[in-house]
Amino acid sequence: MYQRILFSVVASSVLVLVLGILGLNFLARNRFTEATKLSGGDETNPEDKWPGRRRARLLAREKLPAKYQRLKPIHTLMGMPGPSDWLACHEESGQSLRVYKRQSPVRPGKRLTTIYIQPLGKFTEEQAKIVRLSAEYMGIYFNVPVKIKSAFPLKMVPRKARRQRFGHEQILSIWVLDKLLRPCRPKDALAYIAFTGSDLWPGRGWNFVYGQASLRARVGVWSIHRNGDPAESEQMFRLCLLRTIKTATHETGHILTMQHCIAYDCNMNGCNHRLESDTRPLALCPICLAKLCWNINCDPAPRFEKLIAFCEKNKLKKEAGFFKKSLQLIQKTQPVEKADR
């Protein structure tokens, strides 16, 4: 009898052990599958591995006013982020037009009328031209006057807000925002933005930043240090200009309370590195364009016409072509093929 009991106990223990091993194997395989979905693997639809995809697609389906809705076919939905891209490193929920209107965004009006550009430090002749053209473009983009103020010398930045990295000096962008710009911001400034040839970093844990802005303090700073040498060639001048106006309009969009876009390829996408930034468009997606035009009380058609003229004058051919397609759809003059972007 004792042998039977012993056998039963041993048999039960073996069964429990086997079931335990099978259970652990099942859990491990499930965990591996989940990890595969997030980090790579061989899923048939790679976009399923991006946790934010569902939210991005919901935002892209938002019903917009008709003129902006007509622009959707020529805009590219946000795709699977690369391992070092912004959305792979930062979890963001995006911002719909409906939510944006409810957030009491910063807007131009009787009190806030002008964007001020504050040069910081010295610029070469070609860099100074980039600053002037950027100011011109921003005036068109945001439909407000833009004024360039007299330059602040770089010596205004104290030693505690500087560091040596990558073989050159960097300026602490947070210090520029909080200690330099906010105390000096003109009363009628819709945005007060420093522009510098020095490299920037925003604080501990970061290598550098192209630009940074405060959503409520209406101040920002951006750098052309990593945009290339505009004196190198005509082609490099155009590239430097394109990179600069992308950053300038993106950061000023933040000042107008626009969050990063996750629905489409858009000027308001977050960017972690140069390749990602260069592949993002100068144009706003339909959702972000609807936000901006509502904010600044602007008809998109004449705005597109002015943007086209600027891009053609400065030989930004690809950008001019895309704005022309957008204008056609806004005005419904003729069918437009889907953009190859």
Alpha carbon 285 to chain centroid distance? 12
CA 135, distance to chain mean position in Å, is 19
Q: Are 308 and 323 in contact (CB under 8 A)?
A: yes
Alpha carbon distances (Å) from 224 to 178, 242, 289, 309? 20, 11, 25, 24
What is the C-alpha to C-alpha distance for residues 270 and 259, in angstroms, rounded to an integer? 9
Sequence spans of domains, the chain: 2-42, 57-331
DSSP H/E element including 300: helix 300-313
Q: What is the pLDDT of residue 11?
A: 45
Q: Whole-structure pTM over 0.85, yes or no?
A: no
Which candidate, 218, 267, 257, places its Cα nearest to that of 100? 257
Per-residue pLDDT tens, the chain, 341 aa: give them: 434 433 343 344 444 444 444 443 433 333 322 222 222 223 334 445 788 999 999 999 999 999 999 999 999 999 999 999 999 999 999 999 999 999 999 999 999 999 999 999 999 999 999 999 999 999 999 999 999 999 999 999 999 999 999 999 999 999 999 999 999 999 999 999 999 999 999 998 899 998 898 878 999 999 999 999 999 999 999 999 999 999 999 989 999 999 999 999 999 999 989 999 999 999 999 999 999 999 999 999 999 999 999 999 999 999 999 999 999 999 985 445 454 44
3 state SS of 228: coil
Name the CA dihedral angle for 6, 12, 17, 22, rounded to a multiple of 10 degrees. Answer: 160
Q: Partners of 283 in the beta sheet?
A: none
Return the number of other C-beta atoms located less than 10 Å from residue 131's C-beta: 20
Give the closest residue to 249 by CA, choosing from 220, 206, 207: 220
What is the residue type of 334? Answer: Q
- In whole angstroms, what is the distance from residue 289 CA to residue 266 CA? 10
CA angle (278 as vertex; 276, 284 as ends), nearest 5: 95
Tell me, what DSSP letter sits at residue 210?
A: S
The pLDDT assigned to 214 comes to 84
Q: What is the pLDDT of residue 48?
A: 53
For the domain made up of 57-331, the CATH class stated in words is alpha beta
- Residue 211: predicted pLDDT: 86
* C-alpha to C-alpha distances, 86 to 41, 81, 92, 224, nearest whole angstrom: 21, 7, 10, 20
Cα 287 from chain centroid?
Answer: 14
In contact, 76 and 264? CB cutoff 8 Å: yes
The answer to whether 222 and 117 are in contact (CB under 8 A) is no
Q: Which two tokens stand for residue 205?
A: 């844990």
Spell out the SS3 assignment of 283-299.
CCCHHHHHHHHHHHCCC
> Cα separations (Å) of 211 from 84, 148, 201, 227?
18, 18, 9, 12
